[in-house]
Chains A and B, each alone.
Chain A
Amino acid sequence: MRDDRGHWYLLTGFVIGIVLGLVYAWLIAPQERPDTSPASLQPEFKDQFRAMIASAFVATGDLTRAEARLKYLGDSDITRVLSEQAQRTLGEGNSPLEAQALGLLAVALGQGDSAVISTPITSTTPDENQATINPGQATSTPPPVESPAVDFPTDTGLIPTPTNQESPETNAVLSTATPLPTRTPTATPGSPFVLQSNTFVCDPDLPNPLIQVIAENASGAPLPDQEITISWDGGDDFFFTGLKPDIGLGYADFLMEPGVVYEVRMAAGGQSVPDITPAECETESGSRYWGTWLLVFSRP
């Protein structure tokens, strides 16, 4: 009796074995990995992680650390994601302080190293070396590094946890930088705002009925983190400049409801703008779309 199967049965058995092994490893008993990164979190937990980073940033003023932490989340456009979450949080109305922290962090990232929060809590010692902590080397002493810039792998590599100290170079930059306003929205010092212009704009690229507000100082520099109050018959709300840094640090907008008449003013004080209501524009072809009210406030 002769065996005609050749060696194919070996290959078949091997393939079947691999398939069985994969089914067991992937479906029946996948490896438990309680070591995931923040990038794998559910969206709502990512939001919470992001908000926590922002709150810690507002508490410490440590932008380098906040930026490193944000990289954990693997967002492609960190500033944009922060701005969107700030708007979303503000819209939900649950935590305006959290929204403001997110907005402040977005603005600070947009300004880079020149950003600084006015009330840092932790102190730094300029003459100590900055050290990075490598969680993968639990028993090692953090090695000093020359530059405050740290590259963080975003994959499965060892991701350093926060830097211990800011280098003297970083402190020098921060100490000469223009500080951001404080994080308390109603405590903005200075004279009241003056309405510079109130313009109705027809822009087909902005089809929604918006109130756009630009806050700037006397020299025309944008002012982020300025609270704007808006009221209407039966309600009121507030929003902040600087939550859309991609448009402008002094920019903020509010979506109007058709048929409602609004009154807008800067919370820091100054002239209010009444009788703002959605109005329509018309294209040459006769189609209609909502126009936008553009209010420019200036602090003299």
Chain B
Amino acid sequence: MLILIIGIGVGLVYGWVINPVKYVDTTPAKLRSDYQTDYILMVAEAFQAEGDLDLAARRLAVLGDSPPAEIVRQGMIYAAQINYADSDQELLSQLASALQTWVPASGGIQP
């Protein structure tokens, strides 16, 4: 019985740590935080030039069900943690500010 338990333990270590399941065909929502943050930064860079808030929100929607402003806020937190350049953090901040007043349904702007 003891040797069986040891075998199970070895199998678990191998299957979870040494050679875990490799995920393919995933979605952006499952990306690692640094990749997600970089994607958000890309959206912010494009928004800076295009000025299209609806398009920016659609681009952010692939990162999950959270509101776009919340997605950007999470990205800002991570960017600050890993010391993104000030200019990049500023871009994120500008996008977040713009999204705070963005209303998806009507497309209008809240007062």
Residues of A at the B interface (CB closer than 8 Å) are: 10, 13-26, 30-31, 33-38, 40-43, 45, 48-49, 52-53, 55-56, 58-60, 69, 72, 119, 121-123, 131, 133-135, 137-142, 159, 161-162, 164-165
Question: Which A residues are CB-close (under 8 A) to B35?
Answer: 37-38, 72, 159
CA distance A30 to B12 in the complex (A): 10
Where chain B touches its partner, the secondary structure class is helix
Residue of B nearest to A59 (CB): B49
Question: Which B residues are CB-close (under 8 A) to A56?
Answer: 41-43, 45-46
Q: Is B83 a contact partner of A52 (Cβ separation < 8 A)? A: no
Q: Is B31 a contact partner of A121 (Cβ separation < 8 A)? A: no
Q: Is A13 a contact partner of B4 (Cβ separation < 8 A)? A: yes
**Per-residue interface assignment for chain B, residues 16 to 43, with 1 indicating a CB less than 8 Å from any chain A CB and 0 otherwise:** 1000111111111011111101110111
Q: A36-B32, A134-B82 are in contact. Are A21 and B12 (CB under 8 A)?
A: yes
CA distance A134 to B7 in the complex (A): 38
A82 CB to nearest chain B CB (Å): 15
Q: Is A52 a contact partner of B8 (Cβ separation < 8 A)? A: no
Choose one: A20, A52, A69, A161; the contact of B11 (CB below 8 Å).
Answer: A20
CA distance A69 to B34 in the complex (A): 12
Choose one: B32, B39, B83; the contact of A141 (CB below 8 Å).
Answer: B83
Question: Which B residues are CB-close (under 8 A) to A162?
Answer: 38, 41, 84-85, 88
Q: Is A20 a contact partner of B32 (Cβ separation < 8 A)? A: no
A13-B3, A55-B46 known; 10 new pairs, CB 8 Å cut-off, are: A16-B4, A17-B9, A21-B12, A33-B20, A36-B31, A56-B43, A121-B49, A122-B48, A161-B38, A161-B82
Q: A48-B62, A59-B50, A138-B81 are in contact. Are A40 and B6 (CB under 8 A)?
A: no
Q: Is B14 a contact partner of A25 (Cβ separation < 8 A)? A: yes
Choose one: A10, A25, A35, A37; the contact of B12 (CB below 8 Å).
Answer: A25
Choose one: B4, B6, B28, B42; the contact of A53 (CB below 8 Å).
Answer: B42
Residue of B nearest to A130 (CB): B85
